[in-house]
Amino acid sequence: MAMTKGQILTHLAGKSGLTKKATGEFLDELITLAYKEAKKGFVIPGLGKLVLVDRKARMGRNPKTGEKIKIAAKKVVKFRVAKQAKDAIAPPKKK
């Protein structure tokens, strides 16, 4: 099960020696900054990068009726996980 925001704040406050309130304010400010800078690419070293990607228009299919439909082009936000994080979570197989 994923950690809740409260659990994350408790853990970070314990590690840093800051109060939970100060840790919460820092985390909220980091999130706000990430939202603001995502259009240019926002990197958290060792974790990953938020990027804005243009998705082309394409043909899709209505799953209920099977009818072909046109899906419009749009911008989407993606998170690209850093290699360091991938290797720490799921180490590559040794040959």
- The CATH class for the domain spanning 38-95 reads few secondary structures
Greatest pairwise CA separation for the chain in angstroms? 58
Q: Considering the entire predicted model, what is its pTM?
A: 0.75
Alpha carbon distance 45, 37 (integer Å): 15
- What are the φ/ψ torsions at residue 58 (nearest 5 degrees)? -155, 165
Which distant-in-sequence residues (6+ apart) come within 8 Å of 24 by Cβ? Answer: 9
> What average pLDDT does range 56-69 have in this prediction?
94
For 6-52, write each residue's pLDDT tens digit: 999 999 999 999 999 999 999 999 999 999 999 999 999 999 999 99
pLDDT for res 27: 94
Residue range(s) occupied by CATH 4.10.520.10 in the chain: 38-95
> What average pLDDT does range 87-95 have in this prediction?
86
pLDDT for res 95: 73
pLDDT band at 1 (very low <50, low <70, confident <90, very high): confident
